[in-house]
Structure 1
Amino acid sequence: MQLQFLGTGAGMPSKERKTSALVMKLLDELGTIWLFDCGEATQHQILETTIKPRKIDKIFVTHLHGDHIYGLPGFIGSRSFLGGDTPLTIYGPKGLKEWVEMTNDVTGTHLTYPLEFVEVEEGIVFENEQFIVRAMPLQHVVPCFGYRIEQKPLAGALDIKKATALGVPKGPLLGRLKAGQDIVLEDGTAVRSVDVLSEPQPGFIVTILGDTRQCDNALALAQQADVLVHESTFDHATAKLARQYGHSTNIEAATVAQQAGVGTLLLNHLSARFLAKDLARMTKEARAIHEKTYLVSDFRTFEWHQRQLIEK
């Protein structure tokens, strides 16, 4: 799993930061990519990466402010032009489906793939054999959600030496054992997968929040997450503005991470008011509360490797 930030600015694009967009690359796990929010420059940012739009099969939208959705019409159309023919599912608050479909109708946009919508409410919004995605409402000035992505426990590692000692030959029988299936050898000997597999390993948990004030649901979504992506639109000196406009400060985000027992905190959605000299200070302030904190910029990429998040 990789996280790559395409847009980390708040409100409107700047020379340094485009508006909100984040991809979760699940190429090893599912062979697909998930996109979280789609600010207006998203497809332009994708051109600077190795991301193939047709590989994106899910878009999770946190809320309907323009800096989080104005890139959707362009991306949806370009995905079709680039040969996308597999379904695309968009998850988001009430009103998103109406806006996208109206935009497509007015502009005469024809898609070569099925476009599906899921209106998000609190609870599980997606589940398959490998992942669960949960949503909870946050506290912003319009309806806004945060998402918690949980990878289900992974099968234990196969002990080849132990399996061989039990008479299992090389080939598909080893694969069946690794998949958790019991087998019977040609001589009638039964071999249980539990006898040749290590204990199941926990999957990763990533929490991605939309715009929000510090609130109980943000804390609930972040509980024991390996990674928390939290907005940091303001700092302590501008905390009054944060409360007024439904946003958080770097210190508030770090406090959520510390209280929730988060592994790594990634701060994004920064106001353009902050200059380069401010960013080092804001990072230092957050790290005083939660040590493993990064204030991210466009195109920064992190990879989940050996149960820890490392920067690529």
Structure 2
Amino acid sequence: FVEIVKKIARFNLKFTLDSVELTEGSWVRFDGYTITAFAVSHGLPALGYVLEEDPRPGRFDREHAIDLGIPPGPLFGRLQRGETIRVKKDGQDVEVQPTDVMGAPRPGRKIVYTGDTRPVIPALLSYAKDADLLIHDATYDESEKKRATEFYHATALQAGQAAEAAHARTLALTHISSRYTDTASHLQDAKTAFSGTIVIPDDLFMLEITYRE
């Protein structure tokens, strides 16, 4: 498809463009985060995506560092960057490793986007558990469950069930059919299955995703 577009489009690319086809389990590495693809169910080959930040360093134990003989200052920063240092304590050379003064690594943020799909809870449990934000197809409310199945979409209730199963913090219901004049039924359906935060975003909606502590 990309090659055909390059041939028929009325412009000349000024840079190299290579297409890489992703499949179930494919991942692409970026600076500070990774995007992983997982298979969804939409009646044809289709993928959802997990954007996951790298783990963050653990908390620095300042008081314990001082007890080990490390003076406040640049040595604190070296330890936090993962370096092993040597200091003198009581006249003795002492080696201090980052693990001596740093807590366990803390998870980065995770965003999951299903795209158009029927419910795919097993895939979410494999790739997207503990998502900070799950953006899930919710084309229909529960009164149109049969239609949702027929057209390879999900209901808001099914989206809520998926979010609950995956232990998501926030659920965003998307791709809602234009047949609905409001989304009250979608919100109510999702709430019956999911105890976390639920949003139904309009275009250009912005959401700040905080770190889990």
TM-score by length of 1: 0.59
Which residue of structure 1 aligns with residue 199 of structure 2? 294
Answer yes or no: is 1:243 the counterpart of 2:149. yes
Report how far residue 157 of structure 1 moved.
2.3
Pairs within 5 Å for 1:47-62: none
Which residue of structure 2 aligns with residue 226 of structure 1? 132
Sequence identity (%): 29
Write the distance in 1 (CA, Å) between the matches of 2:72 and 2:127.
Answer: 46
Report how far residue 307 of structure 1 moved.
1.7
Letter in 2 for 1:191: V
Q: Specify whether residues 116 and 175 from structure 1 end up closer, same or farther in structure 2 by C-alpha distance, changes over 3 A only.
A: farther
1:204 to 89, 99, 109: 109
Answer yes or no: is 1:263 the counterpart of 2:169. yes
Contact 2:138 2:175 in 1 (8 A): yes
Bigger fraction of residues in strand: 1
Report how far residue 164 of structure 1 moved.
4.5
Which residue of structure 1 aligns with residue 82 of structure 2? 180
Pairs within 5 Å for 1:31-46: none
Write the distance in 1 (CA, Å) between the matches of 2:180 and 2:127.
Answer: 28
Which residue of structure 2 aligns with residue 152 of structure 1? 54
Letter in 1 for 2:119: Q
Contact 1:222 1:257 in 2 (8 A): no
Structure 1: 5+ residue runs without aligned partners?
Answer: 1-98
Q: Specify whether residues 109 and 168 from structure 1 end up closer, same or farther in structure 2 by C-alpha distance, changes over 3 A only.
A: farther
Write the distance in 2 (CA, Å) between the matches of 1:109 and 1:158.
Answer: 53
CA deviations over 1:247-301 (Å, ceiling 9, x no partner) = 111111111112222221111111111113xx12211221121132211211111
Letter in 1 for 2:184: A
TM-score by length of 2: 0.83
Report how far residue 128 of structure 1 moved.
5.8
Report how far residue 119 of structure 1 moved.
0.9
Write the distance in 2 (CA, Å) between the matches of 1:207 and 1:183.
Answer: 39
Which residue of structure 2 aligns with residue 39 of structure 1? none
Write the distance in 2 (CA, Å) between the matches of 1:159 and 1:210.
Answer: 42
Answer yes or no: is 1:274 the counterpart of 2:184. no
Contact 1:146 1:221 in 2 (8 A): no
Which residue of structure 1 aligns with residue 187 of structure 2? 283
1:167 to 70, 80, 96: 70
Write the distance in 1 (CA, Å) between the matches of 2:16 and 2:65.
Answer: 45
Write the distance in 2 (CA, Å) between the matches of 1:189 and 1:250.
Answer: 59
Contact 1:124 1:132 in 2 (8 A): no
Contact 2:163 2:171 in 1 (8 A): yes
Moved over 6 A (4+): none
Answer yes or no: is 1:110 the counterpart of 2:24. no
Answer yes or no: is 1:100 the counterpart of 2:6. no
* Larger radius of gyration between Structure 1 and Structure 2: 2
Q: Specify whether residues 177 and 128 from structure 1 end up closer, same or farther in structure 2 by C-alpha distance, changes over 3 A only.
A: farther
Write the distance in 2 (CA, Å) between the matches of 1:185 and 1:196.
Answer: 14
Structure 2: 5+ residue runs without aligned partners?
Answer: none
Contact 1:265 1:294 in 2 (8 A): yes
Aligned pair count reads 207
Write the distance in 1 (CA, Å) between the matches of 2:207 and 2:194.
Answer: 18
Write the distance in 1 (CA, Å) between the matches of 2:15 and 2:60.
Answer: 40
Report the more deviating stretch, 113-122 or 291-300: 113-122
Write the distance in 2 (CA, Å) between the matches of 1:218 and 1:194.
Answer: 33
CA deviations over 1:199-222 (Å, ceiling 9, x no partner) = 211223322112111233345434
